[in-house]
Every structure is written in C-alpha cells, then in structure tokens.
Structure 1
C-alpha cells in the first residue's frame, strides 16, 4: 500500500468575521498528484498556507503530520527545510531583478560568500528549460509577461530540494501548450517520487493528471475521489452543491451599429524603440456584441488592449480610436475612462486593485463623481454603490469593509469587475476575466457579460481558454505576433480554425 506522506487533522482557521476552514482533514500519499478543488473562497489556498507556514502554528487549530512526525511550522523557511515548497497564486518575484537572480533569491549560488554568476546563470538556464522558457537568465522580470513570470516562479521552486510541491493555480496564466508541458512535468516528478498538491479550476487538467481529488466547499471537505471515480460532472456538483448542465448561459444577441473601432494601430516596445509589438490592427465591436480576441501567449493581445486604454503600454503609438463613429482622444487613462472606455486587466494584483484598501473604496475608484456632491464624497452613496455591486457580482466577503487583499483571487476579480461596472462604460475590455476562477463563479461572470451586451454595451474579451471564447462570444479575432491574422463569426469557428489561422500566419512570416 502507498505510504502517506502528509496528514492534516482537524484544521480550523478563523479570520475576523469569517471561518475560512472548519475541521478539515486531508491525507496525501507519497508520489501522487493530489488535486484540491472548490469554489473561490472555499478555503483551498488558506489550507495550503497553513501547511506551508504562511499562517504559523498557533494561528490555527489542528495538527500537521509530515513523514510521520507532527510539524510546527512558524515560517515558510521551516516548511521549505523539510522539502515542502509552495508556489502561490500571487506572483512573488522582484521585478527589477533578473530571472536568474529571482530563481536563486534566498538560495544564492555562492562560493566563499561571493555569488558565482556562471553557476547562477547556468543553473537558471537548466531550470528554465525544464519549464519551457528560452529567455536569457539576465532578462529583468519586469520585461516579461505575467504568464512567463509564473513559469519563473515554478523554476524557482524547482531550484530547491522539493519533496512535496504545492501549486496554487499554476497554469492560470499559461497558454494551452505551456499548461500541457507543465502537467507533463508534474507527471515526470511523480515518476521521480515527488509528491504534488495541485489547486486548479481547470477540471480537464485535473482529470488528466490527478490520482485523487479532494473537494472543499465553504471551508469543509465534501469528499475525496480516486482516479476511477473522477468525472467533471461529479466534481462540479460537489464544488457548487448543484449541477451545471450548461457551462455558458444562453443569450440571444441583439447587435446594432458599431460602437468601438480601432484603425491602423501600431505600438512599439516601451524600452526598445525599434521593436514593434503591434502592427496595423483594425478592429471593431458593435452595440450589444461580445467579441473575442484569441491567440497564443505572447501574441500581443494584452499589449494591444493596454495601449488602447490610455496608452498604458508602449511608445511611438499611432492609429485612431472611434467611439460611436467619432474620433476620440484616449491618450491617457483619465481621457479613456471619460470617453466611456474601461479595461479590466489580467493582472489584478498590480494594476486592477488597491489591495490594502477595502472593497468599498475599490468599487468606486473609477467613478468617484458617481458618489460625490460638489467634489465631496457622499459616504452613504458610496456604501450603497459598493453593497449593490457586491450583490450583483456575488462577492464573498464579511462586508464591503473587508480588505481586498484578504479576498480569494476570484473574489478579487469580481471587485475589479464591480469597479468598472460602476463606471458605466460604453466599451468594456475584459482581459482574462475568469483566470483563476471556479466554474460556478465563471458562470456568474458570463451572465454579467451577457447582461452588459443586453444593455447595448460593446464587450471585448481576451482569453487564453478557447472553449470560453467559443462559448460566450459572437465574433472572434485571432492575433499572432502583434497582428490580426483572422476574423470569423463564432458560429463558424472552432479550435482547429483558430489554430489554423495562427499556423498559416506563422508560415507566411517564415
């Protein structure tokens, strides 16, 4: 019989006003991939933070037994010394250090107290190759996208002598190709005797690699399934307490005139003036229409969206933006918002939220005029607005005064959406709106998107999940290497058509 490497017994963790975990029991076997699933706010990440020492012994009730011995982790360093390494959903890299420096931060490759840079760079290259990155180890982390930063996080974890690897939404920022490579890597680790705990909302990935799955709902373990018992329908029912027969809510489009149009848009790299990132993009979205932008990681989708939204990315930007047929100035974020444009970023931690402030202030941040009288904020009006959008987007929190940084990733994403919904834009650009969000919350966000379209808004969705784009949009653009390489009605599209457009474009470029 397979040996048990980890037991967590009676784990209970309480925050002010919220019981995050209630008498949770979990056992993990040696050299298995054990998946933990649940809705946002169910307690998955909290449980792993207890295990890894982020929440130290004494701040929770219960026992952690690892390799047959009870553990009392006071810090992350304590758990890492035992071979337990956690990769958090939130990136923990230093932007102005190089990739190599980040990988070995706290684990420096030194001789006689002096860093051996050849050893550092060589080790980094080897680790980057394991996660499928070909970047120069001397590249600053700030100069690579969020998806590649996640891969650097994984390489950093691999640099330690890991026995139990905890991955919290590791593929949330990755393309399908990179996600598949990472899952293959986990299965290779399993052959090498390394145990993995995988938290993910991507049920197809879990079904592919997990030996067992534990479902957590509202801070309690609902059930643990073995491989032969795993099915997506059973997982979903356990997660949300009900069946979700249709992943995408039905919608009857009522599409009108063109609301948003971009013509001949060109953008150059913010640091390298001669490197063109976006080339001659023409794109439009009509009233009541949901338009998707598909493409592989690095295709330029986010860079395009940010450059249009107040020129938040790039330099030497040229082209024209039209709203309701009128050319408009979107040269700053303030001007873009004033014109009726909103952009919900893929990187909610850095650009989307003030994590040290509460939900109420974050909700109204993009439209202070909507809760002010003669330049003075009306506190009650702000309270009413925050509570209204908390209900509309189903944010799980003790109140609108809960600090946003203490919310789960999915609930933080709902706060980002609330902020822009309160701003009442005509055009809403949603960049990876369901990244790191469970299936139940995804359905709620899809419903919000449908409601926006029904109100006559123009909605542009960027997503790395092709089934999502095919399920919620009316029309698709395909991007590759900073250019539009295809356009098609969603009803005529499938994943093969999208990939064919990308491959065809790459063939022409070569």
Structure 2
C-alpha cells in the first residue's frame, strides 16, 4: 500500500523546512498535444524531491514552465509565499530558480570563473576591462562555500564531466538559488563521482536549498531523496515518502502496470557455437591484450567503470576505430575489419551509447532510419523501392512496438526509448547476427527499459548473439549469461551468471588493476 505524504508531514531523515514552491493546476498544450493537465508539485526548503515518470510523462515540460522556458496555459506558481509569473529564464534566475540540464551548457575554451559569471563579470578601469583577479576571487569564495576543490583559472575543456557538473552547480548557486532542478545528473558519472555529487547535494540540502531531482536510476532514490512525486501522461499521480515506499510501488505509480522481471533469462536457442572470437586485441593504452568469445544465442555483458575500455573494444570490433594488433574471427573464419562497412558486411550491428550522434539521423523519418543500413536491398533497377521500404518500416514499428504516429514521423520527435528501438530496427532489417549494445537503456525511462530488456532476450532466443555494455550493474546481472569485467583497458575477470554473481563481485574485478 502506498503512503502519500501530506503537506504537513515531515520527511524522516530529511532537513525539510517550510514550503518554498507550489505549482498548482499547471496545464500546457502544444498543437495537437496536451503536455500537462492540472499538474501539482510542492517543494520544501532543505529537501530533495525526486520527480519521476516515463519519457513523455511531462517532467521536462513542467520544469521548463518553472524555469521560464515555456509559459503555462493555466494554473499558478507560488514561490516563497507569493504568487509569481515567470515569463523567461532570466526572471527565473533572478528569483533564485535554476536548472542544470542533462546536456551541460559550458564554453570549453573559457575558464571556470569566466563560465560561472559569464555576462556578469566584474569590471575595472572605468568599467572597460574585465577584472580577472576579482572574478577569480568571487569564484573561489563560491567554491569555498560549496567545498569544491577546483582552480577558477582552469579551462573547462580540461575538466571531467563530473567536474563540469560541479561548475554548473556552482554557476546555478551563484544566482543565490533557493530552488535547484537537476535533470539526470548522474547519467555520465562513475560511482565515485556519483558519491561526490551526493555529498554536494546533501550539503546544499543542509543549507536549505530545495532540490528537484530527475533521474531514471531507481537505485539512487533511497540514497538521496526525501520524497518522490510521480507524473504519468502529463498528469500528477501522487507524492510519497521515499523511506516508507518500495521501488516497486513507485514504478507501479509511474507505469500503471506490473513491470516484467527476469533475473536470469532462459535462452531457448543458446548454444556453445562460437560466432565471434577476439584474440589479443590492442590499441594504445585503451585496449590491452583483450581476448574473449561470444556464443550463438548469448547475451554477454561487459562491465567496468567509466574509462575501463569497454566502448573502445566495441568500436574496434565494429571498425569505427583502428586497432594496433589482434585477430577477429567470425564463425571460425578470420576477418579483416577496417571500417564499419566491413563490420556490417560480416553481420555485425552496433548500437552506440550516443544514439543521437551515431545511431539515428534525427532529422530524417523512421522509415529512412530503418532502411539506411540495407539500402542495396531496396534498390529495383537502380531506383529506390519506396513501397518496400514503407512495408519493412511498418513491420519493424509493429514488431518492436515503436510508438510513432507513422513511419513518416521525424525521429527527433520520438522519445529516447523509441529512438533506441529505431536503431535496433535498422540492424534487424540488415539481419545482423551479432549485435553490440552500448548502454542500451541510458537516458530512457523504466517502462521503456523493460521493453528493451524483453527485446534483447527475444533476440537471443531467436539465435542472435549480443554484447551488452552497461554501467548499471542490476542491468548486467538481470540479462547476462556471462559477464566480462574490464579495468584500465584489460579484462580482469569473467563470471558466469549461473554462479550467483553479485554487484560486489563485479565491482571487485572492476577496480582490480592487473600488472
């Protein structure tokens, strides 16, 4: 039974104060779409409020209304006890309402200090020259308050993603923000970087900042949030206390249905027939003497921390990056793969972790994306057979359950999960026997993840062979028959999922240096 937290309830273990923000009855429509319908949201000072929902639930639209990117059609916003209007982003910032987007928005060639105070730089010499000394002093003072150990003079291009995120947080708080929205803040971070981020969030919470935290990683909720507000199909479902509610109950609120569970998939056509063999693969410092085998009908998980070399191995196998030495054999025959074209010709499909840059052409429609890797199959006397392409695309939409008005819809208008399905459809159209999935569920919601999981298992049951790279250990454990673990470019261990392996055993290998 779900426990709904009323406005007067205190969060156990939190530092919640008075209500700082109320969004009441917010509605927002776009041509042909009712994005928000009578949505409520409440945030207290000194709390971390998770805002959850599947892609398309309306979370981003609601936050864009809050931060002045969109204007509401109906409803009211009460901030610090007063009803306000937020006509633009500058107004939101001046009020102390800031957002840190999933895609960071920093100028790489500027220093940290210049990025934080861009457009608000202190001047000297009759207000004609930038006062760099004062700028760096202001930034250092801000860092001292937030316990951030960075050099204000360092260029942003030299920072890791995690440190860039710290800069974004500092920039937001330089506006004296009382409300901070964080959109998928851990999507590109390692476990240790996530711990550092959570330490900073707890510091902000203790300082009375109200934080709205958007994430698809359910395991983070118990660690960092006080309450959870859930949206579904543009409407408000409810708010629950994190400690009093199970993850399954929260998921049920999000999707309105029971989520599929299968810890160890039973693959009907699994065999020990080797379809891919990699021997002694090397590439500079990123791939060091990597060898492994992939069997027919198998899901082979690749685990490791960021920078372990997993993606580099995948790109080398697919011919996207050259390798220095090593051998690749497919079905017992040694092959030369020097380009993605060679890989595709040998039956390999690759779903990149960055689907928008390498997986789909967002400005083209669904049917073009599905057909792009198999254009030769759709030629008829030198002309493209549009009818055949439409038929194939419709077949993929139906079999993969891609949510789209038609195959003529532009891919950029689809949710992340459906974009991922379009990429899968492209390689199934090509009839690839070996599929490499690099972070297949990154940035997609729990319901879409569930559909991708089912799809991977079904593909394996059909005899496809799958390499799955994932930073989410529950995902690795749930789907993989075997798990290969990498650290610093080397394979540090191989585990059978029949052996009751755990996140702890994987992490032990992921942090094990060899040599």
Q: TM-score, normalised by structure 1?
A: 0.86
Is 2:277 the partner of 1:261?
A: yes
CA distance in structure 2 between the partners assigned to 1:494 and 1:338 by the alignment: 37
Paired residue for 1:289, among 294, 298, 301?
298
Instruction: Give the 5 Å matches for 1:158-307.
Output: 158=173, 160-244=175-259, 246=261, 248=263, 250-252=265-267, 254-268=270-284, 276-307=285-316
- Alpha-carbon distance between aligned partners in 1 of 2:233 and 2:61, rounded to the nearest angstrom: 12
Q: Structure 1 residue 234: deviation in Å?
A: 1.1
Matched, 1:87 2:93: no
Are the counterparts in 1 of residues 143 and 150 from structure 2 also a CA contact under 8 Å?
A: no
* Partner in structure 2 of residue 28 of structure 1: 43
Greater CA radius of gyration, 1 or 2? Answer: 2
Q: Write the distance in 2 (CA, Å) between the matches of 1:134 and 1:409.
A: 36
Conserved in 2, the CA contact under 8 Å of 1:207 and 1:231? Answer: no
Report the alpha carbon displacement of residue 82 of structure 1 after superposing the two structures with TM: 1.8
* Superposed counterparts of 1:113-192, under 5 Å: 113-114=129-130, 116=132, 123=139, 126=143, 137-138=154-155, 140=157, 153-154=168-169, 156-158=171-173, 160-192=175-207
Matched, 1:62 2:57: no
Aligned residues of 1:214 and 1:223 also touching (Cα < 8 A):
yes
| Separation (CA, whole Å) in 2 of partners of 1:349 and 1:158 | 30
Distance 1:326 1:225 in 2: 57
1:438 matched to 2:445:
yes
2:34 aligned counterpart, secondary structure = strand
Alpha-carbon spacing, 1:263–1:472, altered in 2? closer, same or farther (3 Å): same
**Alpha carbons of 1:210 and 1:453: their partners in 2 closer, same or farther (altered >3 Å)?**
same
Change over 3 Å in CA distance of 1:444–1:34 after alignment to 2: same
Contact (CA 8 Å) 1:147, 1:297: kept in 2 or not? no
Q: In 1, distance between residues paired with 2:361 and 2:78?
A: 37
Q: Which residue of 2 aligns with 1:100?
A: 112
Tell me the distance in 2 between the aligned counterparts of 1:263 and 1:43: 48
Q: Does 1:44 align with 2:52?
A: no
Asked whether the equivalents of residues 311 and 317 of structure 1 are also in contact (C-alpha less than 8 Å), the reply is: no
Of 415, 425, 428, the residue aligned with 1:421 is 428
Residue 399 (structure 1) shift: 3.4
State the SS of the aligned residue for 2:197. Answer: helix
3-state secondary structure, aligned to 1:367: helix
1:457 aligns with 2:464: yes
Question: What do you get for the CA RMSD once the two structures are aligned?
Answer: 3.2
Alpha carbons 2:156, 2:164 under 8 Å: kept: no
1:442 and 1:381 mapped to 2: Cα distance?
Answer: 30
Structure 1 residues 78-102: Cα deviation after superposition (integer angstroms, max 9, x where no partner): 32222222122334445x5367378
Structure 1 unaligned spans of 5+: 269-275
Mapped to 1, the partners of 2:44 and 2:312 lie a distance apart of 43
Distance 2:137 2:303 in 1: 34
Q: Which moved more, 1:74-83 or 1:183-192?
A: 74-83
Deviation (angstroms), 1:339? 1.8
**5+ long unaligned stretches in structure 2:** 1-7, 9-16
Structure 1 residues 357-402: Cα deviation after superposition (integer angstroms, max 9, x where no partner): 3333333333333444344333333333333333333333433333
Q: How does 1:378-417 map to 2 (within 5 A)?
A: 378-417=385-424
Asked whether the 8 Å contact 1:18–1:398 carries over to 2, the reply is: no
Which residue of structure 2 aligns with residue 73 of structure 1?
Answer: 86
Residues 114 and 444 of structure 1, relative CA distance in 2, 3 Å threshold: same
- State whether residues 10 and 62 of structure 1, in contact with CA within 8 Å, keep that contact through their aligned partners in structure 2: yes
User: How many residues are aligned here?
Assistant: 493
The 3 A distance-change label for structure 1 pair 161 and 306 is farther
Contact residue 311 and residue 330 of structure 1 kept, 8 A: no
Distance of aligned partners of 1:135 and 1:393 in 2 relative to their CA distance in 1, 3 Å threshold? farther
2:334 to 327, 330, 335: 327
Q: Whole-Å Cα distance in 1 between the matches of residues 486 and 152 of structure 2? A: 22
Q: How does 1:348-387 map to 2 (within 5 A)?
A: 348-387=355-394
Describe the superposition over 1:235-282 as per-residue Cα deviations: whole angstroms up to 9, x where unpaired: 1111111233625574235123111122221223xxxxxxx2211111
1:500 and 2:512 are equivalent in the alignment: no
The separation in 2 between residues aligned to 1:116 and 1:135, in whole angstroms, is 10
The separation in 1 between residues aligned to 2:492 and 2:290, in whole angstroms, is 10
* 1:425/1:106 CA distance change after superposition, 3 Å: farther
- Cα deviation for residue 408 of structure 1 reads 3.2
CA distance in 2, matches of 1:371, 1:444: 29
CA contact (8 A) 1:207 1:230 kept: no
Return the alpha-carbon distance in structure 2 between the equivalents of residues 375 and 64 of structure 1: 60
